[in-house]
């Protein structure tokens, strides 16, 4: 399934996108999805939490984390793990890779076509390949 039209801030469209992913579109889930699906982007849970709570109604941190996990489970967004304490939520679920700038903390997309992964190791016994996600770590030139 392709979701070229999934980037939107329109509540009705978001409702349909959530339903297409078998997610019951509660008002808080729509609020959280609106932040993420506005465009292709990478946000931390903290950033999503503060953006969702710009408005009056408060969404708890636990709800934000639970909802993000649900979105990942239902393939609405992708999780990009930089290290155990640094996780990004990526609204772009197409296959792609990332540059991670250790100085700025910025994550940048690398198009799948631009990255040729030449060798893939022999898979562990009784497993199938589900995807290859490469994070290229960079820092600013001093």
Interacting residues with Zn ion (CB under 5 A): 90, 92, 109
Determine the Cα–Cα distance for residues 142 and 138; give it in Å rounded to an integer: 12
**Considering beta carbons, is residue 67 or 91 the nearer one to Zn ion?**
91
Query: What's the closest the beta carbon of residue 41 comes to Zn ion, in angstroms?
Result: 8
User: Which of residues 47 and 109 has its CB atom nearest to Zn ion in the complex?
Assistant: 109
Residues paired with residue 111 on neighbouring β-strands, in sequence order: 96
Least Å distance, CB 43 to Zn ion, is 11
Nearest distance from C-beta of residue 108 to Zn ion, angstroms? 8
Q: Which lies closer to Zn ion via its Cβ, residue 34 or residue 109?
A: 109
Rounded to the nearest whole angstrom, what is the least distance from the CB of residue 37 to Zn ion in the complex? 14
CA torsion sign, 17 to 22 to 26 to 32? negative
**Residue with smaller CB distance to Zn ion, 21 or 42:** 42
């Amino acid at each position: 399934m392709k979701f070229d039209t999934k980037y939107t801030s329109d509540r009705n469209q978001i409702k349909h996108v959530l339903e297409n992913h078998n997610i019951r579109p509660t008002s808080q889930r729509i609020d959280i999805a609106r932040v993420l699906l506005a465009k292709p982007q990478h946000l931390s849970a903290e950033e999503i939490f503060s953006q969702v709570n710009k408005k009056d109604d408060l969404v708890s941190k636990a709800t934000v984390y639970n909802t993000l996990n649900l979105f990942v489970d239902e393939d609405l967004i992708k999780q990009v793990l930089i290290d155990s304490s640094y996780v990004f939520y990526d609204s772009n679920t197409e296959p792609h890779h990332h540059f991670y700038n250790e100085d700025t903390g910025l994550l940048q997309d690398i198009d799948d076509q631009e990255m040729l992964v030449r060798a893939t190791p022999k898979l562990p016994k009784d497993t199938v390949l589900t995807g290859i996600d490469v994070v290229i770590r960079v820092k600013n030139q001093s």
